[in-house]
Structure 1
Amino acid sequence: MTHQAAIALGQTLRVLAAAPDDPAAQVTPDVVIGAHTDADALRRVAQGAAALTFDHEHVPAELLRELVAAGVNVAPPPQALLHAQDKLVMRRRLRDLGAPIPRFAEATDPSDVDAFAAEVGGRIVVKTARGGYDGRGVTLATDVAEARDVTARYLADGVAVLLEERVDMRRELSALVARSPFGQGAAWPVVQTVQRDGICVEVIAPAPALDPDLASAAERLGLRLAEELGVVGVLAVELFETSGGELLVNELAMRPHNSGHWTMNGALTSQFEQHLRAVLDYPLGATAPIAPVTVMANVLGAPRAPEMSMDERLHHLFARLPEAAVHLYGKAERPGRKIGHVNVIGAANGSLEDPAYVAEVRERAVRAAHWLSHGEWTDGWNEHAR
């Protein structure tokens, strides 16, 4: 998807891919096959490039620092990216900046769980400080004993452990912003994200029934963090909206993010184009939405792949929902895997304040994504009936 934006900007991408059939490797002729932990592969992919950027945060910081020392323009720079790589580093920095965050502690021994539980007086979330995503490395402990056992298991695996209070929240939000080396910032409307089993399944843009002052505060927070951390490119600030109407920062991502996929069809500038604009230090694009609401639904691999081919599923989807904008990633289907997403844009005469309007757009997006995943319609419709 970044490559699609690069073509429109007259740019070319060289991709570091683990295998020739990786999604990005399928759409560019300039591919370096190698691991993101391989210093030689990183040097080869960066050779002669105007900038080196990322679609995940897992490239070791020490290798990125070596590239910077060799004159490579790494964006975002490793000192910024570290806050998306290490949750303990992120939590401590955000605390120092006065950003709103849940109470937290590092656990170096299982007994630390008891002290933290006494401090917060409630349920605990146990996280690995590094490497987790889509619910991996995150355990919502049901009690102190489970939190202690999970902490012991993580520590035995040799990973740093973060303890957090479990937040009484209304919903999850995401503030997506971008920042250029020049210092220009831009923010899209704050969106609501819907999670299932730790995986984002749906995004509603903008977030419905969000207090305007709270929305403005979230956008300002995203822009401030991008500046304070020295981000170059897109920054997603994942937020909890608490039951008391407050915002707390959950996690950071310094790259185009799942919560921003709606921008491909629902905003004047997509997150992918904006990321490239920022990395290349171009003036940033306008971020206004083009409709009262856009809903993104992820296409997740079904427990059992349908016998019907994806091509035939697309045929029936377009016949029934021609307005659905489909983005497939070129990935093999397997249970729970993100293999694509669908964007559905609401009618221009609708209103975000109308729950029935928002619900109708959501239903179409979810129905389309489920059909592509499972080969079955959520409303029982028979595509072969006459």
Structure 2
Amino acid sequence: MMAPAAEALGVRLAVLAESEDACAVQAIAESTVGDYKDLETVRAFAAEVDVVTFDHEHVPTEILRTLEAEGVAVRPGAAALVHAQDKLVMRARMDEIGLPNPQWAQVTSVEDLRQFGDRVGWPVVLKTPRGGYDGKGVMVASRAEDGAEWLETATGGLLAEEKVPFARELAVMVGRSPMGQTATWPVVQTWQRDGICKEAIAPAPGLDPGLAAKIAADVISLATRLDVTGVMAMEMFLVEEDGRQRYLVNELAMRPHNTGHWTQDGSVTSQFEQHLRAVLDLPLGETSAQFPASVMVNVLGGEYEDLYGAYRHVMAHDPAIKVHMYGKSVRPGRKVGHVNAVGEDVDALLERARHAADYFEGTVTS
């Protein structure tokens, strides 16, 4: 998804891919297949480029620190990226900075979990500090014994959080360059299915303007305090109490993110172009929305293995729909693409985008 922006700017991209059929290999001619967890492999790749960046947070922190010590421009740097890699580190830093967290604790035993649950109320949410995504590495525990087996094998313990009674889920994207320039996009409303982001609406309908402004200011402050380079997503819970709205931080991602896919067709500058600009320390692009509303719906793997075969129906049914496919093999529940719709009426946009995604997934046939 970053390749078109790089091509437009005349910037050479190279990718270290996990396999020859990785989707990035299809878009970027200069590709190396190797293990991102192997220092020598990553070091050899880094020697051939000017800047190293990421499309996921799983590169070991120690490798990134080694590259930085050797003079490689790693963006975002290891000290920033660890807050997206390790949820315990992230929670502690949010407390330090003063951003609103759910109640949380590091638990290493059933007794730790029991004490936490008795204090905040059951059920509670258990998360693996590292490696979890798209609902993986998450458990809702109704009693302490539910986490016993997982705790036995969890080196360093687990993250326990209160189960937040949220009204909606929100997200905001921010871009930041090494020179310190920042830019945010409108706050979006998201909806998750089975722990996977399924939909995003920009801007978030009915969000208090004062809260939206506070979120934008807070995420800029956070990106600055963490010394982020590139784009970062801050996912949040919206809590409504006595007619008032407030937010709690859920998770961070320091890369282009599902919740920002709408920017490809709904914003002056997409998150992919912005990430490229930021890591190259170019001036950031304008982030304002080009339409009153934009909707993104993810396409998850379903009945059809040949997604290309569905193009005729989707494009003929709605010529204004924007289809973005990743070139991935289809597996049930796997994110294989997304569709965007832009306009004025959120309900109409959702209906159109959902129909397109449902047709790709095989849940509707006409």
TM-score interval, smaller chain: over 0.9
- Equivalent residues of 2:61, 2:78 under 8 A apart: yes
Q: Return the TM-score normalized by structure 2.
A: 0.97
- Equivalent residues of 2:256, 2:272 under 8 A apart: yes
- Equivalent residues of 2:110, 2:151 under 8 A apart: no
1:168 and 2:165 matched: yes
3-state SS, counterpart of residue 169 of structure 1: coil
- Equivalent residues of 1:189, 1:206 under 8 A apart: yes
Find the counterpart in structure 1 of residue 304 from structure 2.
Answer: 306
**Could you tell me which amino acid in structure 1 is paired with residue 293 of structure 2?**
V
1:345-384 alignment runs, 5 A limit: 345-346=342-343, 350=344, 357-374=345-362, 376-377=364-365, 381=366
Distance 1:288 1:154 in 2: 45
3-state SS, counterpart of residue 221 of structure 2: helix
Q: Which of residues 222, 230, 235 in structure 1 aligns to 2:232?
A: 235
3-state SS, counterpart of residue 49 of structure 2: coil
1:267 and 2:267 matched: yes
Q: CA deviation at 1:112?
A: 0.5
Find the counterpart in structure 2 of residue 292 from structure 1.
Answer: 292
Q: Which of residues 192, 195, 199 in structure 2 aligns to 1:195?
A: 192
Distance 2:53 2:352 in 1: 34
Residues 360-379 of structure 1 deviation map (CA, whole Å, 9 limit, x = unaligned): 111100110111121634xx
**Could you tell me which amino acid in structure 1 is paired with residue 304 of structure 2?**
P
Q: CA deviation at 1:28?
A: 1.4
Q: CA deviation at 1:197?
A: 0.6
Distance 2:308 2:193 in 1: 27
Once the two structures are aligned, what percentage of the paired residues are identical?
Answer: 50
Distance 1:266 1:151 in 2: 46
Find the counterpart in structure 1 of residue 143 from structure 2.
Answer: 144
**Could you tell me which amino acid in structure 2 is paired with residue 127 of structure 1?**
K
Q: Which of residues 205, 209, 213 in structure 2 aligns to 1:208?
A: 205
1:88 and 2:88 matched: yes
Q: Which of residues 170, 176, 179 in structure 2 aligns to 1:179?
A: 176
1:129 and 2:160 matched: no
Q: CA deviation at 1:32?
A: 1.2
Q: Return the TM-score normalized by structure 1.
A: 0.92
Identify, as 1 or 2, the structure richer in strand: 2
Find the counterpart in structure 1 of residue 218 from structure 2.
Answer: 221
Distance 1:37 1:156 in 2: 21
Q: CA deviation at 1:312?
A: 2.4
| Gap runs ≥5 in structure 2 | none
Distance 2:151 2:30 in 1: 39
1:14 and 2:14 matched: yes
Distance 1:80 1:155 in 2: 30
How many residues in Structure 1 have an aligned counterpart in Structure 2?
363
Residues 237-270 of structure 1 deviation map (CA, whole Å, 9 limit, x = unaligned): 0000013221100000000000000000100000
| Gap runs ≥5 in structure 1 | 351-356, 382-386
Q: Which of residues 343, 356, 360 in structure 1 aligns to 2:340?
A: 343
